[in-house]
Amino acid sequence: MTELQIRFDDGAAYEQMMGKWSRLAGGVFLDWLAPPPAMNWVDVGCGNGAFTELIAERCAPAAIAGIDPSEGQLAFARTRSSARISTFQLGDAMALPHPNASFDAAVMALVIFFVPTPAKGVAEMVRVVRPGGTVAAYAWDMFGGGFPLEPIYEEIRAAGLQPLFPPSVDASRVDVLRSLWADAGLTSIETRAITIERTFADFEEFWTVSSLGSAVKPVLATMSEADGAALKSRVRARLPLAADGRLTFAARANAIKGKVPA
């Protein structure tokens, strides 16, 4: 189990599971940033372009550069409407392929805890953003029960198995985020919690969508059919269904923003 890793290779599957969650949290995040129009953005770890598209829809950007290490995710991103003002490039968050002071804003949406050395990722965002520009991120509150798959994770633990976590999961903590931003020399640092809700037509929709997720699918693959069915039954029992069968529950992310010194 310890050799399993969260991998993002399927942009369409990501969209059904985490892409929709990301956009819900991303809308609140962008309202909080309140950016002016006509900015140049870099979306670090853009994945399948879910958050990139949100920037394009809500922020009237001049241009967006999306960077991600997964060509499978980028291929999906290039099919989105945001591609008209966006470029999507294979790249590493710890070595961004851009000159100094190239952007007005650098953002990481649900990415900071996947960067092997988060401090390098933040330093790279600072490097490519102009003086006075914004560096910001949000990440699921993994230690506060805010992860959208927490109901499944709780039952995986109860079964004596180890859920999959991002490699730098500590970076989801507010205190760690504050330290990363301060150590990178950013100023005017602010944090906030983002709580959002998502409704599924019924439990089966929730389970089907969640089973596609890169955090759950590898664990389910190690289980027998009977154990997988038992896990599903236990998760169903712990989730509150409405009278019409719909399932609504909340997720929570920690967000941070700061300014590059002028």
Q: Is the pLDDT of residue 222 over 80?
A: yes
Q: What is the pLDDT of residues 118-146, one digit of tens each?
A: 999 999 999 999 999 999 999 999 999 89
Interior/surface letters 157-189, b for 16+ CB within 10 angstroms, e for the rest: eeeebebbebebbebbbbebbbebbeebebeeb
Residue 110 C-beta-side C-alpha neighbours within 13 Å: 28
SS3 content of the chain, % helix, strand, coil (to 5): 40, 25, 35
Name all domains of the chain by residue range, CATH numbers in brackets: 11-141+166-198+252-259 (3.40.50.150)
Indicate the SS3 state at residue 41. strand
Q: What is the pLDDT of residues 55-78, one digit of tens each?
A: 999 999 999 999 999 998 899 899
- Whether the pTM exceeds 0.75: the reply is yes
Which residues, 6+ apart, have CB-to-CB distance to 233 below 8 Å? none
